[in-house]
Amino acid sequence: MAEMAELIEPIIPALRRYARTFVRDAGAADDLVQDTLERAISRWHQRRVDGNPRTWLFTILHNLAVNHLRRARRRQELPLDDANESDIMVSSTQEDALRHADVLAAVAQLPDDQRSVLLLVSVEDVSYADAARILDIPIGTVMSRLARARARLLKLVEEQAKPVSDRPYLRRIQ
């Protein structure tokens, strides 16, 4: 039991970040991570002993999230897409905060398959091979989705980027 805790505990923050890509609500993301951990603990004896527990946990979380989104779509429920202002990391300057918000908004506009690959590889530092296992897709598909995600993200950020003078709420009152 102690071995399991030692292997799982350091991965929890990364699981939370990845869960936020699906539900964008801190509480719902924590629920998804909780479901992932419950499933992992109850099926610990089924994991491959020579396998990477990080990859296994991300796979469980991904599958649970996809199933949740499918059920929500079938019931025509809308997933929680609105990020609270308190969820956005505070930057040192207003311009940095705006740039950060622009990037988050652009990432949110990516298709789910591209966003998942981008965040796994770029944010969570998962290898292409591990991302392929987590998402249950070929490694070539990981690389092409990542390339498309990066290109689209760059385009979206450039479209959203406006000079400070074009943002009336940043102009000084004179």
- Structural domains of the chain ordered from first start: 1-85 (1.10.1740.10), 88-163 (1.10.10.10)
For residue range 110-129, list pLDDT tens digits in order: 999 999 999 999 888 889 99
Phi/psi for 31 (5° steps) reads -65, -40
**Looking at residue 132, what is its pLDDT?**
94
**Looking at residue 84, what is its pLDDT?**
40
Q: Is 161 helix (H, G, I), strand (E, B) or coil?
A: coil
**Looking at residue 154, what is its pLDDT?**
87
- Tell me which residue has tokens 């092409």: 144
**Looking at residue 88, what is its pLDDT?**
34
**CB within 8 Å of 145: residues ≥ 6 apart:** 113, 114, 117, 118, 137
**Looking at residue 158, what is its pLDDT?**
80
Give every residue of the chain whose pLDDT is below 50, as ranges: 77-92, 167, 169-174
What long-range pairs does 40-46 form, CB within 8 A, spacing at least 24?
Answer: 40/8, 41/4, 41/8, 44/4
**Looking at residue 115, what is its pLDDT?**
92
The pTM assigned to this predicted structure is 0.54
Cα–Cα distance, 27 to 123 (Å, whole number): 21
